């Protein structure tokens, strides 16, 4: 039975919400993988959290590489469905999977070969933290291909209007990770305690489990990717278009990850606890970030299908409704991080009062910018749906780069110290949200209707 929603007709708010909720749930699940690791590692030691957070940057960079295929495939499928061209949609899927798998294998090899140098970049002063980070990254490198494949399965289904199946499949993966994490980290019965290696192994096995379920589900239920042939000669026409659409978001995300690594290097000067605080705090903040990403994907799919169908009024109304919902989410997130900072952070390091104190300061500062961050992420989805992936990249890259000198100046030449790094994150997020939304509204009012009219 088909689960695809009709995004081209009917009331927009309920349709967009029905599409978005499972995607948001899937985003929460991806966030919960990291949170589960951190919750258990926090009970192992603060150093283990710092190590996993350091190595985790390279999973983030891997997720950035996934975006080359993920964004291109998603936009290609949505616009093809809007034009009622399913053959073209399937070509985007097959070529997107081939490109994604190739990138995954190259990245896996590079991570494994250069794992010592990559962790060494951070100049961590605790040799125990360094070794744990290397151990974690080694296991992640071996199995990261599944981390690459699963988002493409999800994107193919989401872009066709079926967001329920990815949610269910990823939920099963999370359950397996929740079960495996404490077993592998602390040991159980004949299974020895593996510490941080166990956390990495649990994550990879859970991702492998998700890949298998996606494949089986596709065969049994006849999903949009179930009849796609992967072992065929790549079509360079589709590969080029996928890269054209996906490369700007990749650049933005990869630079964001790289800049965050540099900021972590600045933070590391203040000791291991601030590194752990940044790792934990960013995961807590990802409650709003992942929610917005999920809704952004829904906005992108909705916009892409209606752009392919040349329905300007639905694009405009969909964006306005989406921003109202995301604005509410951002406001709630701001209030949560500002007023519930202490109980939130205590969940992760219950026995480290210094880390809790620093974590509360981190969350309250980042709480100021949550509304604007949600607006930025949702607007980026609307741009992507139109196939205009460059504007979000320009804004994202510009202000993310600005974070480096701003953090260095505020943390070194003012009385803020470490807080200067956190303020550099919050202030730039506010600016990104305001400028990107203004840019999209301008295109919506003065360019898009003329463009669609010219296509008719």
| Residue 3 is assigned to a structural domain of this protein | no
Task: Identify the pLDDT of residue 218.
Answer: 83
Q: Is residue 418 one of the residues assigned to a domain? A: yes
Distance between CA atoms of residues 155 and 173, nearest Å? 17
Q: Report the SS3 class of residue 231.
A: coil
Question: Is residue 6 in some structural domain?
Answer: no
**pLDDT value of position 339:** 94
Whole-angstrom distance, CA of residue 319 vs CA of residue 316: 5
User: What share of the chain in percent tops pLDDT 90?
Assistant: 38
pLDDT digits (tens, 9 = 90+) for 22-32: 888 877 777 77
Residue 2 lies in a domain: no
* Mean of all residue pLDDT scores within the chain: 87
Q: Name the H helices within 309-389.
A: 312-339, 341-346, 353-367, 370-385
Which range (66-70, 106-110, 268-272) has the least confidence? 268-272
User: 3-class SS at 188?
Assistant: strand
Q: Any idea what DSSP says for residue 5?
A: -
Q: How does pLDDT run across 53-68, given as a tens digit for each residue?
A: 788 888 888 888 999 9
Q: Is residue 4 part of a domain?
A: no
Rounded to whole angstroms, the Cα distance separating 393 from 397 reads 6
> What per-residue confidence (pLDDT) applies to 89?
87
What phi-psi label fits residue 352: left (phi over 0), alpha (psi between -120 and 50 degrees) or beta?
beta
DSSP 413: S
How distant is the alpha carbon of residue 15 from its chain centre?
Answer: 23
DSSP of 238-302: HHHHHHHHHHHHHHHHHHHHHHHHHHHHHHHTT-HHHHHHHHHHHHHHHHHHHHHHHHHHHHHHH
pLDDT computed for residue 52 by the predictor: 84
Q: Is residue 160 part of a domain?
A: yes
pLDDT at 3 over 70: no
Q: Tell me: pLDDT of 370 over 90.
A: yes
Question: With the C-alpha atoms ordered 389, 392, 398, 402, is the resulting torsion angle positive or negative?
Answer: negative
Residue 331 has what pLDDT?
94
- pLDDT at position 4 is 65
Interval 359-388 mean pLDDT: 93
> H or E element: which one contains 208?
helix 196-221
Residue 266 · residue 278 · CB < 8 Å: no
pLDDT mean over 231-235: 82
Residue 159 lies in a domain: yes
Per-residue model confidence (pLDDT) at position 452: 66
Q: How many CB atoms lie within 10 A of CB 231?
A: 6
Domain that holds residue 313: 12-455
User: Does any domain span residue 7?
Assistant: no
Percent of the chain at pLDDT > 70 equals: 97
Helix pair angle (196-221, 12-44), 10° resolution: 150
Q: What pLDDT score does 323 carry?
A: 94
Residue 19 has pLDDT above 90, yes or no: no
pLDDT tens per residue across span 308-325 = 888 888 989 999 999 999
Please check the confidence at residue 360 and state whether its pLDDT lies above 80: yes
For residue 188, what are the β-bridge partners? Answer: 191
Q: Both tokens of residue 400?
A: 């993310």
**Domain tally, the chain:** 1
Residue 456 has pLDDT above 60, yes or no: no
Lowest mean pLDDT among 228-232, 244-248, 403-407: 228-232
Question: What's the confidence (pLDDT) of residue 430?
Answer: 96
pLDDT over 70 (residue 258): yes
pLDDT grade for 2, boundaries at 50, 70 and 90: very low
The answer to whether residue 265 scores a pLDDT higher than 90 is no
Residue 89: closest CA among 154, 19, 160, 152: 160
* pLDDT of 1 higher than 50: no
- pTM greater than 0.75 (yes/no): no
Give yes or no for a contact between 64 and 56, defined as CB atoms under 8 angstroms apart. Answer: no
């Amino acid at each position: 039975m088909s689960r695809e929603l009709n995004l081209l007709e009917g009331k927009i708010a309920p349709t967009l919400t029905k599409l978005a909720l499972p995607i948001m749930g899937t985003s929460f699940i991806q966030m919960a993988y990291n949170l589960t690791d951190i919750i258990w590692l926090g009970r192992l030691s603060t150093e283990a959290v710092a190590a996993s957070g350091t190595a985790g940057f390279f999973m983030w960079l891997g997720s950035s590489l996934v975006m080359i295929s993920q964004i291109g495939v998603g936009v290609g499928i949505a616009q093809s469905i809007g034009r009622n061209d399913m053959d073209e949609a399937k070509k985007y899927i097959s070529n997107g999977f081939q490109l994604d798998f190739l990138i995954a294998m190259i990245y896996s090899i590079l991570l494994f070969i250069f794992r010592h140098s990559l962790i060494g970049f951070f100049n961590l002063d605790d040799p125990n933290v360094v070794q744990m980070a290397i151990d974690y990254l080694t296991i992640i490198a071996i199995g990261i291909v599944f981390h690459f494949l699963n988002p493409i399965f999800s994107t193919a289904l989401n872009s066709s209007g079926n967001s329920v199946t990815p949610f269910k499949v990823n939920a099963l993966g999370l359950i397996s990770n929740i079960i495996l994490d404490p077993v592998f980290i602390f040991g159980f019965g004949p299974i020895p305690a593996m510490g941080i290696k166990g956390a990495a192994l649990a994550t990879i096995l859970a991702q492998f489990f998700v890949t298998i379920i996606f494949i089986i589900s596709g065969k049994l239920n006849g999903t949009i990717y179930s009849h796609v042939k992967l072992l065929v000669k790549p079509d360079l026409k589709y590969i080029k278009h996928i890269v054209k659409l996906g490369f700007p978001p990749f650049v933005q995300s990869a630079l964001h990850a790289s800049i965050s690594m540099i900021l972590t290097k600045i933070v590391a000067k203040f000791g291991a606890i601030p590194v752990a605080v940044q790792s934990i705090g960013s995961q807590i903040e990802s409650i709003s970030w992942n929610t917005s990403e999920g809704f952004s994907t829904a906005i992108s799919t909705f916009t892409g299908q209606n752009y392919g169908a040349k329905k300007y009024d639905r694009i405009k109304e969909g964006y306005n409704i989406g921003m109202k919902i995301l604005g509410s989410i951002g406001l709630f997130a701001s209030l949560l991080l500002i007023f519930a900072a202490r109980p939130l952070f205590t969940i992760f390091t219950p026995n480290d009062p210094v880390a809790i104190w620093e974590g509360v300061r981190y969350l309250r500062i980042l709480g100021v910018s949550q509304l604007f961050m949600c607006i930025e992420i949702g607007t980026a989805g609307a741009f992507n749906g139109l196939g205009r992936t460059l504007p979000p990249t320009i804004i994202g890259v510009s202000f993310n780069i600005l974070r480096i000198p701003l953090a260095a100046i505020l943390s070194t030449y003012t009385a803020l110290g470490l807080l200067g790094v956190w303020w550099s994150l919050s202030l730039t997020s506010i600016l990104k949200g305001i400028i990107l939304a203004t840019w999209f509204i301008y295109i919506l009012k003065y360019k898009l209707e003329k463009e669609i009219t010219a296509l008719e």
